[in-house]
Amino acid sequence: MNISKARGSFYFSLLALAACAGNVDGGEATEATSSPLTAETPVISETTLKPILPVLPVLHCVAPAITEYAIPTQNSAPQNIVTGPDGRLWFTEWIGDKIGAFTPSTSTFAETPLTPNSGPVGMSVGPDGNLWFTEMLTSRIGTMSTAGTLLSEFANPSNWASGADDPDYIVAGPNGNLWFTGYAVGQISTSGAITPVSTPTSLVGSLGVVTGPDGNVWFVHQEDGPIIDGTAVRVTPSGAMTPFSLPAGSTAGAMPWGITVGPDGNLWVVGNNIWKLSTSGQVLSTFALSGLPSDDFYPAGIATGSDGDLWFTEFATNQIGRITTSGAVTQWTLGGSTGVSGPNSITLGPDGAMWFTEEKANKIGRITAGFCL
């Protein structure tokens, strides 16, 4: 509920009441009538009305609260984080070679070891209710139950295109499969059948991925070169790809990294700018991010919050940002860590707060939306 609007409605309702009593000119109060009052002729004088008009108080705003939790395994380098169907926060540990789970109600961690040197990165809840993740260093896709049991690790088929390994991000797709990005794009069924998706050379090396409201898969791609421009790419369930260029707006290039669906039904991409795209691929808006380095910014994750805004991470600037659908940006520095903590992935938690990973600080964090009273 918008408290300011509620107050305003109350105020103007009182003004309307005053108008009924003839007190709309704002002039001096007049004496009440000296005629005797009867039950049939109630009289409300201006001097009676004016004291009940409220004096609107100054709004008191509460800033977002940030809490950080240290991961038990040292130097684990947490990557992607998602909310599981069991109400826990699940995340990958790139260097720790583990899958972690955090229970908000008890502030406790649980970790499941994977194959050594597997390098887990991406994570998603699958259509089967299990957790699915990528193993970049072993070029495999893994799945785990919410009980923390490692179910399977599926290797890429032997006929996979040369060099098409390093699976990165993963998402539940529109066709019952999970789609993943990396050197190339592929999909995997819940039974473990991996199907490569023909990826043009110009689109090799993809990052964030999301299933769009249009029933297609969308991912972002960074172009190699001294200026790292990028594209948002639409992929139909049959595998047809259509790239859409993103305006750079920075000397370092666009550098798109994360992508999500906004509360307005558009695609939102975070990089050295934030872009809003329609599902037809039209760039509707480009929002600049202020106070960023000319390079090495590496914005990573973006997700829609319970407040209807979009929240994103700023890996190299040690900040969490929030942008409204109209483009107003607010940024907060992570004060609980020294140096650069490397905020990476971000997701909406089971408690309505935003949860994120801190790759360099080896933590997961929680940030609540601020409010005004």
Q: Which CATH class is domain 62-372?
A: mainly beta
Rounded to a whole number of angstroms, the CA Rg of the chain reads: 27
Name beta bridge partners: 170: 180
**So where are the chain's domains?**
3-29+39-52, 62-372
Give residue 15's region: left, alpha or beta (phi > 0; psi -120 to 50): alpha
Parallel, antiparallel or unpaired: strands 241-246 and 258-261: unpaired
Number of other CB atoms surrounding residue 211 within 10 Å? 17
pLDDT value for 155: 87
Picking from 186, 194, 84, the residue whose alpha carbon sits closest to that of residue 129 is: 84
| pLDDT per residue of the chain (373 residues) written in tens, 0 to 9 | 443 433 343 333 333 333 333 333 333 333 333 334 344 444 434 444 344 434 444 445 566 799 999 999 999 999 999 999 999 999 999 999 999 999 999 999 999 999 999 999 999 999 999 999 999 998 899 999 999 999 999 987 654 544 446 899 999 999 999 999 988 889 999 999 999 888 887 777 889 999 999 999 999 988 765 445 789 999 999 999 999 999 876 555 678 899 999 999 999 999 888 999 999 999 999 998 765 554 455 678 999 999 999 999 988 888 899 999 999 998 888 865 456 789 999 999 999 999 999 999 999 999 997 655 5
pTM: 0.80
Taking the CA of residue 316 as centre, how many other CA atoms within 13 Å lie in the half-sphere pointing to its CB? Answer: 11
pLDDT value for 289: 79
